Amino acid sequence: MKIVGDSILRKKAEKVEVFDESLSKLLDDMVETMIFEGGVGLAAPQVGVSKMVAVVNPEPENSETLLRLVNPKITETGAETECIEEGCLSVPGIRGNVIRPVVIVLEYQDEKGNAAKMQIDGIVSRIVQHELDHLAGVLFTDRLSFAKKMMIKGKLKELARRTKQE
């Protein structure tokens, strides 16, 4: 798992152009890692691959709620926002409240390159927005209030320092 301080987490991920076996394998590996780490979402940069690929599953044990996203983008957002506490496998030990839109329209491709579009809300929408941030090099800690940012500054620095030592 790539931890804050690793430059790949700050890079903009590349668009997927080739829909081959290695893409399916990447998605499979990411689903496995997400389950193993006890997460509800994972973006490819977090496993060291700077590509626009993410997996999302609010119910990790339920394969029917699993989303495998290639080249995802948010094409519309509703006006209503809500403040929910988030965490991230790449920012261990830190949680914080983030304000995001409730409803979004998500467009993406599946691993074969077929286009899909859906309107989502609730926890799925929240996780998708968090994972899409990763693909743009953004971490949830960037979206915290100024006061909270000040509170976690030392912890973040310590995480980054340890990452750079490895």
Q: How far is the CB of 131 from Ni ion (least distance, A)?
A: 7
Choice among 21, 64, 86, 131 that is catalytic: 131
Q: In sequence order, which ranges of 13-99 are alpha helices (DSSP H)?
A: 21-37
Number of residues engaging Ni ion in binding (CB under 5 A): 1
The two structure tokens encoding residue 17: 């152009």
Q: Which is nearer to Ni ion, 26 or 88 (CB)?
A: 88
Chain residues 73-132 in contact with Ni ion, contact rule CB under 5 A: 88
Q: Which is nearer to Ni ion, 23 or 43 (CB)?
A: 43
Beta strands in 103-149 (DSSP E): 104-109, 115-120
Which residue of this chain has its Cβ atom nearest to Ni ion in the complex?
88
Concerning whether 111 is annotated as a catalytic residue, the answer is no
Q: Which is nearer to Ni ion, 26 or 128 (CB)?
A: 128
φ, ψ for residue 76, nearest 5 deg: -150, 145
- The span from the CA of 44 to the CA of 135, in Å, is 8
- The span from the CA of 13 to the CA of 120, in Å, is 23
Residues with catalytic roles:
131
What does the binding site for Ni ion look like in residue numbers (CB under 5 A)?
88
